[in-house]
Structure 1
């Protein structure tokens, strides 16, 4: 067990801001699985997801000074970095061209692999119990969070997919976050 195991989050953050290697190793060991789960929901290739998770931890290391505890928890900040890095990767020209140039059989097989490994990715992402919290959300809220944060849809894409007005998506998303915030407070 790491000597950092029982440190308060504030102390861990101070150590990270001082570029303490042991604190960073602790952070990686304890959060890489959950962040990898977020990345895997957005980046479908395991090989690419591994590249993205490396980029995520490089960004965390380089930009830990930007973390503001008054705006949220460290884990939430890291999830946003992971999500945004994965979305940027998926939307990059190289990835888009690679996807366009695949034979149809590769695309079909990739979709089958995605469907089969969805449960595995959810299990990896849940080692901190976050899936249990999401399951307590109202179904319409859970769908929005899943589409926006795990699948990388924009609010407009969600509106198009669900065939509802954009304003409705924005209102429901706000409600979903308020409900999630309440559930997280109860979880502590």
Structure 2
């Protein structure tokens, strides 16, 4: 387990999930590995413009539409392990983490202005309804300006404790629906 954790940490330190990897990269650890060494899709599964994804989906038994996301993710996890890279769209790649310790590591990385792929459906909805963009839809300086005041509030345990009950109900409901397919 410890060797796997160090290997994953090396992968994560290289990219730091930033659009400017060169600015955030540092070779603090000799375990740092190139992005291309993350286990994942190769060959015909990497053809861009959804062609490779079609082959991958079929090989994992997920060729029917809509795709069974649970079956797809289980197949990727079984085939590639606890960390996998898959071409998601055109020339973009996604890194999928199937171990909670790896997700924790990613979430703890401190970057001043990280880049996260936008959640288009939220951005489109906000624009359609004339709503402000949120932390989920912003990047760069705009994201940092919005995050700073909310971070100060969120880091106070007393402020967060008021929402634990509501969030717990939502999480329990999600898990129940996920498990029972509702």
TM, length-normalised to structure 1:
0.30
Higher Cα Rg: structure 1 or 2? Answer: 2
Q: As a proportion of its length, which structure holds more helix? A: 1
Where is the strand percentage greater, Structure 1 or Structure 2? 2
What TM-score do the two structures reach when normalised by structure 2?
0.30
- Relative contact order (alpha carbons < 8 A, sep ≥ 6): 1 or 2 greater? 1
